[in-house]
Amino acid sequence: MKELAEKCIQLVGGAQNIKSVSHCATRLRLTLIDQSLVDEKALLAVNGVLKVMNVGAQTQIVVGSDAPELYGIVSKMLDNDKLGGTVEDKEAEATDTKTKTSLVSKFFDACSSMFTPLVPAFTAAGMIKAILAILVAFGLSKDSQEYVIINYVSDTVFYYLPVLLAVTAATYFNCNRFIAAAICAMFVYPTYTSFVDAGDPVYFFGIPVVLYNYTSTVFPTILTVWFMSYVEKFARKISPKVIKAILEPMLTFLITFPVGLLLLGPIGAVLGEWFMNLFGMLDEHAPFLVPTIMGAVTPFLVFVGMHRAVGTLETMQIAQQGSSAISGSGQLASNIAQGASTLVLSIKSKDEKVKPLAFTAGITALCGITEPALYGFTARNKKSLIATIIGGAAGGLYAGCTHLVRLAKGAPGLPTLPVFISLDNPMNFVNACITALIAFIVAFVVAWIIIKPKDVK
């Protein structure tokens, strides 16, 4: 693993070319100063690298389930090289050489950079919620102190989302993470929430404060930290060296917080409401549409690294409404379908080397991690991809027609089916199981019919 880490650093232009590094379940995500220095062919030839792709401002190296371990080694190596600060927040010296990207690419890069580091916390909170639902089903009273404690602990990630998101947003916008977190904490501070609960008019030097419940919101934090990044640069520029350590953070705080509280916070809250209303309208008038589309196109989203960005919208909806039908149900169908079609490749293969690899990749896909199956087999076999699309769309259609929702985050697969458990709607979990079953059967049957042993390579 150490050798793989060294190769990854070397072949992307060296440590000096790496601005920041993060990871997801299967990918090492590198934000580089100059992407033209990446030797993609050499990287693909490295043992353990499944795929290399440029998504927005990121170079993503797909290595499968070893990604978290690889990230830890790469991070340690970069810190040892003393690139300045921590791996996550160091500022590139040559920012003018940053690769120019389109607005769409920047949007997806921003979503990925800000939300990917928070995925483990979302997953943990979601699984705790699922465990709590199971405990209630087995007799735990909602009035018990045990229920109250477990419930509020699992809620903290979403309740304090403005603070957590401020840290990752500050990392993306290259400003002080702790000042950003401190400023955005004003959105959930008890005094402010008491103003919201009371509903009485509040003024700040004669200017009316628009009161919103900012707990679990996204856009107010992103807009505020974005504004703060410019204020910090301004404060740094005008602060005399003698008192810069005191004046720069003070000015940053004093200028940012009133603008965030009085202007950017309300604007962000309205943007969030518009998004939620849009998805609510789709769910009301065409509930089958989004899950069916997601079930069919998820392999392509994963292939280009956009599935995390789409998942951001689901995170927002879960945080604000408690459940979501945007991507989780369709992705569940797609992942199960991909696992089924890959298992067919394993069964039909006559190559003793391919057979166990395809089987392992298929089981991994059923568990919610599809990159090994996608890059190792599905992307190379059009018939397997066709079966995956058809099975995912069939499962997604059923999920949409039954209004299947996911109550928490987690890699969509068999181990995370509990995140579909709803105390208010027991059939939601049953429908999730049926969705998975339909996707598996349809994909397996289609793959079995159209794939021949000679097609498996």
- Calculate the average pLDDT of the chain: 85
What are the structure tokens assigned to 307, written together?
């599935």
pLDDT surpasses 70 at 82: no
pLDDT of residue 136: 87
pLDDT of residue 27: 82
Return phi, psi of residue 351, to 5°.
-90, 120
Q: Give Cβ neighbours of residue 7 (< 8 Å, ≥ 6 apart).
A: 43, 46
Q: What is the largest CA-CA distance in the chain?
A: 78
The alpha carbon dihedral of 435, 440, 441, 445 has a sign of: positive
pLDDT of residue 404: 93
pLDDT surpasses 50 at 86: no
pLDDT in tens, 102-122: 565 666 667 777 887 887 888
pLDDT of residue 211: 92
pLDDT of residue 304: 66
% of the chain exceeding 90 in pLDDT = 41
- Tracing tokens 């299947």 back to the chain, one arrives at 404
Task: List the chain domain ranges.
Answer: 2-100, 160-283, 286-455
pLDDT in tens, 10-48: 999 888 888 878 777 678 888 888 888 888 888 888 888
Banded pLDDT at 56 (limits 50, 70, 90): low
Banded pLDDT at 92 (limits 50, 70, 90): very low
pLDDT of residue 80: 57
Q: How far apart are CA 29 and CA 259, in angstroms?
A: 33
203 strand-pairing partners: 208
According to CATH, the superfamily of the domain at 2-100 is Glucose permease domain IIB (3.30.1360.60)
pLDDT of residue 89: 42
Mean per-residue pLDDT, 425-449: 95
CA 431 to chain centre: 24
Q: How far apart are CA 349 and CA 357, in angstroms?
A: 11
pLDDT surpasses 60 at 71: yes
Q: Which helix (H) or strand (E) holds 405?
A: none
The whole-model pTM stands at 0.73
pLDDT surpasses 80 at 173: yes
The more confidently predicted of residues 183 and 56 is 183
Q: Helix (H, G, I), strand (E, B), or coil: what is residue 266?
A: helix
pLDDT of residue 81: 53
pLDDT of residue 316: 77
What are the structure tokens assigned to 202, written together?
């509040």
pLDDT surpasses 80 at 94: no
pLDDT of residue 330: 92
Mean per-residue pLDDT, 212-225: 91
pLDDT surpasses 50 at 93: no
pLDDT in tens, 276-312: 788 778 777 888 898 999 999 999 888 766 676 677 7
pLDDT surpasses 50 at 142: yes
Banded pLDDT at 342 (limits 50, 70, 90): very high
Give me the half-sphere count of Cα atoms (radius 13 Å) on the Cβ side of residue 108: 18
